[in-house]
Amino acid sequence: MQPPRNAIEAVTHPDPWPFYRSLRQERPLFFDAGLGLWVASSHAAVSAALNHPALRVRPPAEPVPMGLQGTAAGEVFALLVRMTDGEFHAAHKPAVAQAARRWTLADVARAAEDATDDLQPRLEVNDFLGVLPVQAMARLLGVPEELRDDTCRWALQFTQGIAPGAGTQAVALADDAAAALMAQGRALGLQPAQAANRIAFMQQAMDATGGLLGLVALQLAQDQVPEGQGAAADASQEAMRRFVREVERWAAPIQNTRRFAAESLTLLGQPVEAGQAILVVLASANRDEALNPRPEHFDMHRAQSRSMGFGAGPHTCPGAAIAIEIVATSLRSIRAKGQFDHYFGACTGFRPLPNARIPVFSQ
């Protein structure tokens, strides 16, 4: 098997981990001329990039992607806390974090189980991975039953339309979706920023939580689980949570993210010029011995496990516990019904995405 040529190709490679290890050991922070990006792969480099005040989530000269400027989807994009920095981010991130804390784990588990019961009998497995987290979030957000399917479809269309390289038709569909979802927020009395970040709760779940759901299912397959840990995960909800947390650390559904230099800076002794971008390889950092002992070993029982997968610094994701609970509850439900092996076929590869590692299962 040929190793991946670069850290973008590694996301969908069958076994990217030796490549990541070589990056950490030999070039923890370097400029990849082929990609035109700096690549940060060690825990030290990743942590430094995520916490540096001059590294932003968007290019300073292009806060909204060029293809979205002047569109309804672009107006929503500009209000997303996770895609902004500075005063707007500082003003609105606390409210987003507080909103994520309003639900108890029992609330999340109930929404995830109800969504699983609704969707699993009527969706093929690969569609289920993306829709299940969105519907669970829609339930938590109080979307009425008669609007749930439409809301999930709009969330999918919005996500596809704001993705890099989205075509004209995808952006047009995202515009319509953004208008419909913002109207839901206004009907609840939300201000524009609140309504936009209500959309983000559903939109972010699609790839991140969907990828985690697929990777946990893959790890639970009989030939994937080491030392009987699959049976241990089935013992209780807390055990399954531990299993899901370890899969998130070990397999990293979000393999990388990006940061952009708002000014010239030095990062771990390397000069980064204003405007240059850094590919922050979260998946590699998660297997750095500086972050966890025996990082290449899968162990759901490890004490004080740490992960960079939900970010660090100002843009740490506030929904980590929600994502883990959705995945743990849904898979426990499917396994308890004896449907797991039938529903999740063999893994045939990974979706062609630049940052999310989402398995594709045979039908």
Write down the pTM of the prediction: 0.96
Instruction: Supply 255's token pair.
Output: 């393999």
Provide the b/e sequence for 165-196 (b: ≥16 CB within 10 Å).
ebeeebbbbbbebbebbbebbeeeeeeebbbb
H helix intervals, 188-233: 192-220, 229-233
Q: Can you give the pLDDT of all 363 residues of the chain as single tens digits?
A: 899 999 999 999 999 999 999 999 999 999 999 999 999 999 999 999 999 999 999 999 999 999 999 999 999 999 999 999 999 999 999 999 999 999 999 999 999 999 999 999 999 999 999 999 999 999 999 999 999 999 999 999 999 999 998 999 999 999 999 999 999 999 999 999 999 999 999 999 999 999 999 999 999 986 667 778 888 999 999 999 999 999 999 999 999 999 999 999 999 999 999 999 999 999 999 999 999 999 999 999 998 899 999 999 999 999 999 999 999 999 999 999 999 999 999 999 999 999 999 999 997
CATH of domain 9-361: 1.10.630.10
DSSP letter for each residue of 67-125: GGTTSHHHHHHTT-GGG--HHHHHHHHHHHHHHHTTS-HHHHHHHHHHHHHHHTTTS-H
Give the integer Cα–Cα distance in Å for 246 and 240. 10
Which two three-digit tokens encode residue 307? Answer: 């992960």
Instruction: Collapse the DSSP code of 295 into the 3-class scheme (helix H, G, I; strand E, B; otherwise coil) and give the result.
Output: coil
